[in-house]
Structure 1
Amino acid sequence: MRKTIISSAILLLTLFSSSAALANSLVSTSPISGSTVTTSPSAVTITTQVVLSDMGNSVVVTDKKGQRVDDGSLIVDGMGVLIGLQSLVDSGVYTVTYSLLSDTDSPLEGSFTFNYSAPNVISVQSPVPTASKVSVPETGSSNSATSIFVIVMLFLAFVVLVSLSLYARKIFSRK
């Protein structure tokens, strides 16, 4: 009799613990619940503990005025769901409301918020031209050192040419 009671208790605990293990709950969100983001997210993702059904899920993202800012494109992929967002413009609290269905549990319903802090408007200053001095060489003056160097080189080239021609005449006259 005592074995029967213990066996029944173990069986009941096993049944209740397996149904509790199959209960769907939220694992993570992006943007993180309660966080502040400074760049406009392109989508909101929600990850759960169990595989979600392909049909019957809904996720709605609203701004502080209650206007929808999601684009309606809901993608379910296993344990995750993704909804695209329009480009966020206004700073403030955004609310994500969801109802997610799985094959093994009742709907997982809830909401979370995140804060969007829009960047300040950046004003671009137009470039201002500045006057700069450009040195222009004078056309009338020449560098005398360069002129002297060129004349000396021409003279040396002429001396080498005359020397080689005299040497060549001497060699060819012997033969």
Structure 2
Amino acid sequence: MKFQRSAVIVGISLIGMMFMAGASANSLIATSPLADSTVSSSPSAVTISTEAPLIDMGNSIVVTDPRGLRVDDGTLAIDGANAVVGLKPLTVGGAYTVTYTLLTENDIPLEGSFIFNFSAPTVITTPSATPVITTSQTPTPGKTNNGSWGTSAFVIGMLVLAFAVLIGLSLYARKIFKGR
């Protein structure tokens, strides 16, 4: 009786493991301006790139100057795994703080902050408006990269092995209890 209970517990555990979703987390890949860098010309935007694609709603990026005043213009654009917020022209030299909360589908928020330094020029000129051209990469037909095939093969192999162990335990339990 104890073995049957153990076999059932092991079987249920194996079945549960087969249907568990893999863990994934979003993390920061790059920033522009770079974290802890010093820029001598006023950037027009702050860009944050993440590992996973971002959802369109619920994200925020706030940029403050050394006095604590907001210098972002509030226009947040999401393009795949990139979040871009526009900046007002920077006039005060010092450390600027970028605070962000970014959301992906089925993930916890990616929250954090970083600092970049602005070295204000002695004479500040107002730049004229220039269009910003953004390009997005389009996938080449026939070539898709859905992750590492080695990882997928490993996971599938582990599932097959777990199923084989489950079948083996079931047959063994059946053999033992038939003999009684």
Coarse TM-score class (shorter-chain normalised): 0.5 to 0.7
Cα 1:90–1:13, aligned 2, differ >3 Å: closer, same or farther?
farther
Are positions 1:76 and 2:75 aligned together? Answer: no
Question: What do the CA deviations read for 1:40-63 (whole angstroms, capped 9, x no partner)?
Answer: 000000000101010010100000
Residue type of the partner of 1:87? P
Amino acid at match of 1:115: N
Amino acid at match of 2:90: L
Alignment-derived partner of residue 48 in structure 2:
46
- The whole-number CA distance in structure 1 between the counterparts of 2:108 and 2:40 is 35
Aligned residues: 119
**TM-score, normalization by structure 1:** 0.60
Partners of 1:113 and 1:29 in 2: CA distance: 10
Match of 1:118 among 113, 117, 120: 120
Which structure is higher in RCO with an 8 Å CA cutoff and minimum separation 6? 2
What residue in structure 2 maps to residue 97 of structure 1? 99
Q: 2:67 aligns with which of 51, 65, 68?
A: 65
CA distance in 2, matches of 1:94, 1:108: 20
Q: Tell me, in whole angstroms, the C-alpha distance in 2 between the residues paired with 1:121 and 1:96.
A: 25
How large is the Cα RMSD of the aligned pairs? 2.8
The 2-side partners of 1:103 and 1:81 are apart by 15
Per-residue Cα deviation, 1:4-35 (whole angstroms, up to 9, x for no partner)? 97xx68x859957x31xx20110000000000
CA distance in structure 2 between the partners assigned to 1:14 and 1:32 by the alignment: 40
Shift of 1:39: 0.5
Q: CA deviation at 1:121?
A: 3.0
Q: Partners of 1:12 and 1:49 in 2: how far apart?
A: 26
**Equivalent residue for 1:138?**
none
Residues 117 and 55 of structure 1, relative CA distance in 2, 3 Å threshold: same
CA spacing shift, 1:67–1:15, aligned 2, 3 Å: same
User: 2 CA distance for matches of 1:36 and 1:23?
Assistant: 30
Percent of pairs with identical residues: 55
Q: Which has the larger radius of gyration?
A: 1
CA distance in 2, matches of 1:72, 1:42: 12
1:25 to 27, 32, 48: 27
Query: What is the CA-CA distance between 1:120 and the residue it aligns to?
Result: 2.4
- TM-score scaled by length of structure 2: 0.58
Counterparts of 1:13 and 1:91, CA distance in 2 = 56
